[in-house]
């Protein structure tokens, strides 16, 4: 409870805000190291963000459809393997093909710093590798989702 209060205070989260942020989180392909994304899901919830966690082993088409079905404001994907460049390229293409290419996408996990420019060129808005700070992620989610409204 104290952590939640500190996060809300630090991020200036306003419970009276008319905007409810819906963040869809999941993992693509066979990557199954989900502890990090599950912890992030809880921390985002503690910050007042509605999280739809769709779990592991998702396809690009399935994740794009979930974005539509859940009316997500932002999408987050986590990787513990090196397959993230190809999967993120396919996800961005899949979201565009599904008509929801304007939804901000963030990626986290074992992301190599040298890949940041490639991910940014793809259109990935948030890149959170090892050492990323929770307040930075929460701040990004709030800012990215609110910029759409």
Residue partners of 120: CB distance under 8 A and separation at least 6: 127
Q: Is residue 3 part of a domain?
A: no
Rounded Cα distance between 117 and 128, Å, is 13
Does residue 8 sit within a domain? no
**What pLDDT sits at residue 30?**
83
Give the pLDDT band (50/70/90) at residue 27: very high
Total of domains in the chain: 1
| Residue 64 counted as domain residue | yes
38 in a domain, yes or no?
yes
Domain that includes residue 42, residue range: 20-147
CATH number of the domain that 109 lies in?
3.40.50.280
Structure token digits, residue 9: 């205070």
- pLDDT of 14 above 70: no
11 inside domain: no
- 93-149: per-residue pLDDT in tens? 999 999 999 999 999 999 999 999 999 999 999 999 999 999 999 999 999 988 876
């Amino acid at each position: 409870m104290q952590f939640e209060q500190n996060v809300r205070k630090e991020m200036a989260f306003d419970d009276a805000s008319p905007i409810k942020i819906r963040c869809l989180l999941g993992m693509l392909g066979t990557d199954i190291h989900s502890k990090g994304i599950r912890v992030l899901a809880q921390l985002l919830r503690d910050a007042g963000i509605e999280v739809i966690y769709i779990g592991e082993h998702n396809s690009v088409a399935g994740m794009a459809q979930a974005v539509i079905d859940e009316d997500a404001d932002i999408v987050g994907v986590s990787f513990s393997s090196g397959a993230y460049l190809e999967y993120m390229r396919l996800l961005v293409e899949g979201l565009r093909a599904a008509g929801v290419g304007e939804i901000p996408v963030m990626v986290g996990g074992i992301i190599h710093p040298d890949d940041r420019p490639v991910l940014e060129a793809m259109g990935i808005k948030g890149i959170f590798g090892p050492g990323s700070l929770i307040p930075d992620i929460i701040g990004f989610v709030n800012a990215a989702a609110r910029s759409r409204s």
